[in-house]
Amino acid sequence: MCKITSIKIWVHKNACNFTNVNNNITYKIYKINRDLIKKVVKCQKKDNFIAILKNGSFIKMDFNSLVSNAVLDKEDEIVNLFIDDGSDKVVLMVTDNGFGKKTKISSFKGKNIKKFSAINTEDKINIIFADVVEDSEDYSINEVTESGSVHRCSVTSFNTSGLNAKPMKIAGLEDEKLVCTNVSKISDSGKILYYAKNNKDESMFKAVDLNEFAVKGRTSKPVKTYVNKNVNYEKFVILNKNSVVMDNKYNLLDGVYNKLECTERSKKPEVKKTIEYIVL
């Protein structure tokens, strides 16, 4: 288990809480209202925050408003939370229908505890990824579809825009949704974990090196992996070397990345039971 130090914000689907933990004390993560932990944020009580919600809106708030949970309605779902430092750092947002948008933190205007639109569109918004990213050609956006196909493009493949700008297409989807997205340094690679069931309801699993999928154009079509009517993919996880990983009992784990052996993307998943890792 990992050792946790200083103030941490534990971000859940519909709630936040915090803890002060001294050096060399092990902390076991727990649930709030049966919602999974979504992120752990290092911070100070003087910090202000921006929460991106699944429906495409955002909330700006201070520390006290955040941990009181008074700013969230029952239907709200947090996609991500980060510190509002008013800088020119870039926030990337990706929707499940393959659109994305890059906006500077400084563009997120507004007063405390009010909701504002983060993506300007008339379509129904379902944000699956939002985070502060490195706006560099050395970094790629990595996306997995419902069938396990993978699309990768450079973070710089589209321009940074204001909140009023329309999102841009970043994956050539055909009757599919994106279900998993992250951003990573291209040279660092990564691993995609495939969880599936066969027609006998047996658990199946495989891990594929992210470098099996080339970084291509912004609107290029996703590259297929193993597809068979008897294999039903249920969950995908993108894991990087610096990912924070938990097991299904909410214990923080070390060394998971190096322990996972990869197979070719065209190979069938193996029938095996394995931990459904949770990646923050």
Which tens digits make up the pLDDT trace of 71-86? 667 677 888 888 888 7
Q: Write the DSSP symbol of residue 117.
A: E
What pLDDT band is residue 63 in, cutting at 50, 70 and 90?
A: confident
Which tens digits make up the pLDDT trace of 116-163? 676 666 677 889 999 999 999 999 999 999 999 999 999 999 899 988
pLDDT at residue number 195: 95
CA dist., res. 117 & res. 127, Å (int): 12
Arithmetic mean of pLDDT, 222-234: 92
- 34 pLDDT above the threshold of 60: no
pLDDT at residue number 19: 53
CA dist., res. 149 & res. 151, Å (int): 7
Q: Write the DSSP symbol of residue 63.
A: H
User: Which residues of 120-239 form beta strands (DSSP E)?
Assistant: 127-133, 139-145, 150-154, 168-169, 178-185, 191-198, 203-209, 231-239
Residue type, 236: F
- 217 pLDDT above the threshold of 90: yes
Percent of the chain with pLDDT strictly greater than 90: 43
Arithmetic mean of pLDDT, 225-229: 89
Which tens digits make up the pLDDT trace of 158-205? 899 988 888 899 888 988 999 999 999 999 889 999 999 999 999 999
The helix or strand, by DSSP H or E, that contains position 259, with its residue range, turns out to be: helix 256-259
Arithmetic mean of pLDDT, 260-268: 95
Q: Which of 123, 45, 32 is nearest to 78 (CA)?
A: 32
Residue 218: how many CA atoms within 13 Å on its side-chain side? 14
The more confidently predicted of residues 129 and 248 is 129
DSSP letters spanning 142-154 = EEEETTS-EEEEE
Which tens digits make up the pLDDT trace of 235-244? 999 999 888 8
- 265 pLDDT above the threshold of 80: yes
pLDDT at residue number 31: 35
What pLDDT band is residue 234 in, cutting at 50, 70 and 90?
A: very high
pLDDT at residue number 48: 83
Would you report the helix, strand and coil content of the chain in percent, each value rounded to 5? 10, 45, 50
pLDDT at residue number 18: 54
pTM: 0.84
Q: Which of 235, 238, 258 is nearest to 190 (CA)?
A: 238
pLDDT at residue number 250: 72
Backbone phi and psi for residue 229, each to the nearest 5 degrees, phi listed first: -65, -20
The more confidently predicted of residues 31 and 71 is 71
CA dist., res. 191 & res. 206, Å (int): 10
